[in-house]
Structure 1
């Protein structure tokens, strides 16, 4: 018998969607004490790597539309973790920088990856292999856009 190509469990998109929702759900209780949602956490990760960043640079790094990113930045600013201001070099560009509270949060956030690995209960090798596979899938999908 041939495999049903339209069976839900055979769809790559279904597996990725369920895996993404399930893993993000593991982050929720870990991020709540830091007053962060998962999308806000991703913004903070990008800023902890390098700041200041323009909204466009953040958009590119996170692969999010600026219109999706703007409300996240407004909430992070209201929380006191980031500041947004016009770039001195280019008034059209909005720069995002961490506040002292946003910088201090990094020390607490360093505890998150090990906690997620522990909650997943998978060997580190499996997680690293999955990460590489996801990078390959993302690159292939981006090429096809």
Structure 2
């Protein structure tokens, strides 16, 4: 990867693909997905399904809406994931007795038992990165800061856009 452009760099250099942070994150995400695909095959999960299971293993039963909030997914994306997990016998969906509009996602016994088999996944992913635990922690902290900054910028940009209309 080339060095980041400086203020003196020609404007065209700012538009080089290898100078885009978003592309570096995209490429890393695709590479992670490839490694996860291989590792999760033994569990019978895709990467997005694994994320759903992580939340349920950590939080327990949740309404679909809250599950989506944890994963930053809308219901249109989340619903097919949950349906496939239900078809695999790992979760079940149930309408709330108090509010028929609310659907809860609950682990089945098989889904809860899968947690133990999944215990090796983080270690294998960490090994694939070649990073030590401190480096992984530092990267995670920086990505969390980046996400928070971009979330804030998105809100600000949306508000400015609404004002100009």
Give TM-score scaled by structure 1 length. 0.96
1:82 alignment counterpart: 91
Q: Higher RCO, 1 or 2 (CA under 8 Å, sep at least 6)?
A: 1
**CA–CA distance in 1 between the matches of 2:98 and 2:22?**
42
SS in structure 1 at match of 2:42: helix
Q: Does 1:2 align with 2:9?
A: yes
RMSD: 1.1
2:158 alignment counterpart: none
**CA–CA distance in 2 between the matches of 1:83 and 1:144?**
37
1:32 alignment counterpart: 41
2:28 paired residue among 2, 15, 19: 19
**CA–CA distance in 2 between the matches of 1:25 and 1:65?**
24
How many pairs align?
145
Give TM-score scaled by structure 2 length. 0.85
1:89, distance to aligned residue in structure 2 (A): 2.2
1:88, distance to aligned residue in structure 2 (A): 1.7
1:143 alignment counterpart: 152
2:67 paired residue among 53, 58, 61: 58
Q: Does 1:101 align with 2:119?
A: no
Q: Deviations over 1:13-55 (max 9, x none)?
A: 1001001111121111110111100000000000001121000
- Which of the pair has more CA radius of gyration? 2
